[in-house]
A and B are shown apart, each in its own frame.
Chain A
């Protein structure tokens, strides 16, 4: 064999022999293990509650248009700026109420019904659904002004050009390219909402007791709580645990992501800072406000405004069902569960918490929520996004609940990876509270043990 071919032959051999290392099994197939109602809701206990779940789900799946006059798009109030046109377009994986799906709906959202928006480079067909924030306002030179934090959502699209845009023929969008050029841009992906009624019904005292119980850990982990600014109680929804209740979460998202003003957020939303300059133009304030509100001429489920209906749907969603055997088999999954605890992941990803008594439906009351989160905010080092929300600083994030992780596609707050190993690796950096457990994973576990942990996580 000539010298020229030897290196090629060696290379071919290396490629042919698989590397013996842990691998992320990938998104678990076999049908959606989430999306159903809580068992007592399925049993219609109390009577008619199942109607509220179904009605809420139907509205969650509605596509919004500006005035509700486009066929098949019965929702009212889209825009004038928006990120997507319906809750279930983004909260879709593996079922309605979930997280970012395989096909990003924001590509189609850009030009739906005649809209003339450009699709930004960070929005791709197979990438995650993303909302954009600029950590800082810009100065007059177009550079980020670090003395003026921003952090609000910058909508991707405007209704201009849509068949129902009416008088709204011109509306500015921020310069995403400028934000990218100056590194002044961060992303967030949709959080899954399965089991969120259980999260909502965990008493503050339970969370505080868990925090105390975990405080003698040997990893230097010490999280904090985000607090609702009105009454000081613990808030728990959103990437930084900034929202107190599902109703607030729903109302805010309806206004910020779809542009629908509602009883919780009654005004049309300008871009961050826009009110200080030109303000939202009157030509794009098309509907009376709030666009979503209690319906006075109907009864039962129809009375609720959309925001309240969304919240009730999410509240009544059952948590995801873990799989006892897939991937890897039950022995691997059980071993992985024990290893997950042993290396300290469960200090932040607390396995379960108990809910309070529920006035809504029995399944929410005194229930074990196996959510794998302490609902605290922790310092996460280089995962920082320089956005502060409530008491959570730019490097602090709520411990992401891991239930349902097995069927999620994108990980971390910005969906930067679909690989679980990469996500775990991202826990290890300067200033991170997770260095101990993540270091244990990569160094103190054998490859086989690491695979067991991955299999366990993908079984959730």
Chain B
């Protein structure tokens, strides 16, 4: 009985834990625990997935001097002295990813300094229509602010046997040059953005990227597949409406069931409810050459999509 009373008292104390520490509280140094420095614990909307095995766009890693991203089937050796000193931000609620930021290890100035930022824009959730890499480059060219100057019209080039849309521009006032190389992978516009003061250094970096590998198998990606092909839909029920856009990518199997859910940006409770609901959805199977095939598509919850991605179905790369 005494133990039970002690247990109940402890439970009561713990549940009304020390929300207000009195100023004369004397902690026991033996049990003092400091918060880890530089660790983000309280996150806002963040990315999550229904399983830990399926590759994700934000899952790229650098190992042994090589950047690898299984989702995009992309790998390339880090050119020259460039290193990833800092990681970029998490995925945005408009489907923007910073895959890697490569910079010289020493942050000093010099003509041979250059950086490469690799980004990806999910075509399904772009704030402005970007249904292809070429369209993204065209948009970038047409909306270049007046303090930038295109060094030549955008053009297509081959790199590693793959088509890239390329835009070269400069900021004359700063003496800085950019080369943007955009290619489409799994309905994402993946951009290599090279920045530096010496165009020759940038051209050399472009050449070194020619050894990159892009390949691997992936489901076909189809924008707005759910619009005309949903057989059963269960809407997620949110306890609280937070008004944030929640972009989601799903992979649908050959039987029309959801196989994988990638919530790109959501609060944990939202992600949980959306994921649980989506696994109950049913679709018409995607058919290629008369055979059912897996398909990847996008859905927006929480807010209407800002643009419609609509595009023709593509075979996997």
Residues of chain A having any CB pair with chain B under 8 Å: 135-146, 148-151, 172-179, 181-184, 208, 211-213, 215-216, 218-220, 222-224, 227, 229, 232, 271-274, 276-278, 335, 338-339, 341-343, 377-379, 381-382, 384, 386-388, 390-396, 428-433, 435-436, 439-440, 442-447, 449
The 5 nearest A-B residue pairs measured at CB: A393-B44, A273-B19, A222-B92, A342-B171, A394-B42
Q: How many residues of chain B are within 8 Å of chain A by beta carbon?
A: 79
22 contacts between A and B (CB under 8 A): A136-B35, A137-B19, A141-B28, A175-B23, A178-B27, A182-B32, A182-B33, A183-B34, A216-B136, A218-B178, A218-B193, A222-B92, A224-B93, A272-B20, A338-B173, A342-B148, A391-B242, A432-B88, A433-B88, A435-B88, A439-B101, A439-B107
Partner among B22, B40, B243 whose Cβ is within 8 Å of the Cβ of A391:
B243
Partner among B37, B136, B176 whose Cβ is within 8 Å of the Cβ of A444:
B176
Partner among B31, B96, B101, B178 whose Cβ is within 8 Å of the Cβ of A222:
B96
What residue in chain B is nearest A227 (Cβ atoms)? B243
Partner among B18, B33, B117, B127 whose Cβ is within 8 Å of the Cβ of A219:
B117
- Distance in angstroms from A369 CB to nearest chain B CB is 19
**Interface members, chain B 36-92 (any A CB < 8 Å):** 36-38, 40-46, 86-90, 92
Cα–Cα distance between A171 and B175 once the two chains are bound (Å): 62
B89 touches A175 (CB 8 A): no
- Chain A residues with CB below 8 A from B36, complex form: 183
Partner among B88, B92, B173 whose Cβ is within 8 Å of the Cβ of A342:
B173
B2 within 8 A of A: no
Partner among A137, A142, A148 whose Cβ is within 8 Å of the Cβ of B25:
A142
What residue in chain A is nearest B145 (Cβ atoms)? A341
- Distance in angstroms from B135 CB to nearest chain A CB is 11
Partner among A181, A274, A433 whose Cβ is within 8 Å of the Cβ of B20:
A274
Cα–Cα distance between A199 and B139 once the two chains are bound (Å): 29
Given A220-B117, A429-B86, A174 contacting B148 (CB threshold 8 A): no
What residue in chain B is nearest A213 (Cβ atoms)? B143
B275 within 8 A of A: no
- Distance in angstroms from A345 CB to nearest chain B CB is 11
- Distance in angstroms from A374 CB to nearest chain B CB is 13
B109 within 8 A of A: yes
* Segment among B9-17, B248-256, B278-286, B293-301 that sits at the interface with chain A: B9-17
B289 within 8 A of A: no
Cα–Cα distance between A215 and B307 once the two chains are bound (Å): 13
Q: Pick the most buried of B46, B94, B108, B148: most chain A CB atoms within 10 A of its CB.
A: B94
B180 touches A218 (CB 8 A): yes
A174 touches B21 (CB 8 A): yes
- Chain B residues with CB below 8 A from A224, complex form: 45, 92-93, 244, 265
B191 within 8 A of A: yes
**Interface members, chain B 252-277 (any A CB < 8 Å):** 265
What residue in chain B is nearest A395 (Cβ atoms)? B40
- Distance in angstroms from B56 CB to nearest chain A CB is 17
- Chain A residues with CB below 8 A from B89, complex form: 220, 222, 378-379, 381, 431-433
Cα–Cα distance between A219 and B118 once the two chains are bound (Å): 9
- Distance in angstroms from B139 CB to nearest chain A CB is 5
Partner among B18, B128, B136, B174 whose Cβ is within 8 Å of the Cβ of A339:
B174
Cα–Cα distance between A448 and B222 once the two chains are bound (Å): 50
- Distance in angstroms from A339 CB to nearest chain B CB is 5
B233 within 8 A of A: no
- Distance in angstroms from B212 CB to nearest chain A CB is 19
Residues of chain B having any CB pair with chain A under 8 Å: 13-14, 16-25, 27-28, 31-38, 40-46, 86-90, 92-94, 96-98, 101, 103-104, 107-109, 113, 115, 117, 119, 126-128, 130, 136, 139-140, 143, 145, 147-148, 171, 173-176, 178, 180, 191, 193, 195-197, 241-244, 265, 306
- Chain A residues with CB below 8 A from B265, complex form: 224
- Distance in angstroms from B126 CB to nearest chain A CB is 7
- Distance in angstroms from B151 CB to nearest chain A CB is 14
Q: Pick the most buried of B25, B42, B108: most chain A CB atoms within 10 A of its CB.
A: B42
A379 touches B90 (CB 8 A): yes
- Chain A residues with CB below 8 A from B145, complex form: 341
What residue in chain B is nearest A212 (Cβ atoms)? B127
- Chain A residues with CB below 8 A from B93, complex form: 222, 224
- Chain A residues with CB below 8 A from B37, complex form: 183
Given A215-B126, A335-B173, A342-B174, A444 contacting B196 (CB threshold 8 A): yes
- Distance in angstroms from A229 CB to nearest chain B CB is 7
- Chain A residues with CB below 8 A from B101, complex form: 220, 435-436, 439
Cα–Cα distance between A94 and B58 once the two chains are bound (Å): 45
- Chain A residues with CB below 8 A from B43, complex form: 388, 393-395
B19 touches A276 (CB 8 A): yes
- Chain B residues with CB below 8 A from A149, complex form: 42
Cα–Cα distance between A138 and B23 once the two chains are bound (Å): 13
Cα–Cα distance between A441 and B202 once the two chains are bound (Å): 18
- Chain B residues with CB below 8 A from A139, complex form: 14, 17-18
- Chain A residues with CB below 8 A from B103, complex form: 439, 443
- Chain B residues with CB below 8 A from A223, complex form: 92
- Chain B residues with CB below 8 A from A388, complex form: 42-44
Cα–Cα distance between A378 and B92 once the two chains are bound (Å): 9
A436 touches B86 (CB 8 A): no
What residue in chain B is nearest A182 (Cβ atoms)? B34
Partner among A174, A220, A396 whose Cβ is within 8 Å of the Cβ of B88:
A220
Q: Pick the most buried of B24, B28, B88, B145: most chain A CB atoms within 10 A of its CB.
A: B88
- Chain A residues with CB below 8 A from B130, complex form: 216
What residue in chain B is nearest A231 (Cβ atoms)? B243
- Chain B residues with CB below 8 A from A219, complex form: 117, 193
A178 touches B108 (CB 8 A): no
- Distance in angstroms from A458 CB to nearest chain B CB is 19
- Chain A residues with CB below 8 A from B178, complex form: 218
- Distance in angstroms from B131 CB to nearest chain A CB is 14
- Distance in angstroms from B68 CB to nearest chain A CB is 19
Given contacts A175-B22, A178-B25, A184-B35, 12 further A-B contacts (CB under 8 A): A141-B33, A143-B27, A172-B22, A218-B117, A218-B191, A227-B243, A272-B19, A343-B174, A378-B89, A393-B45, A436-B115, A439-B115
A138 touches B176 (CB 8 A): no
A391 touches B176 (CB 8 A): no
Cα–Cα distance between A430 and B38 once the two chains are bound (Å): 9
- Chain B residues with CB below 8 A from A447, complex form: 109
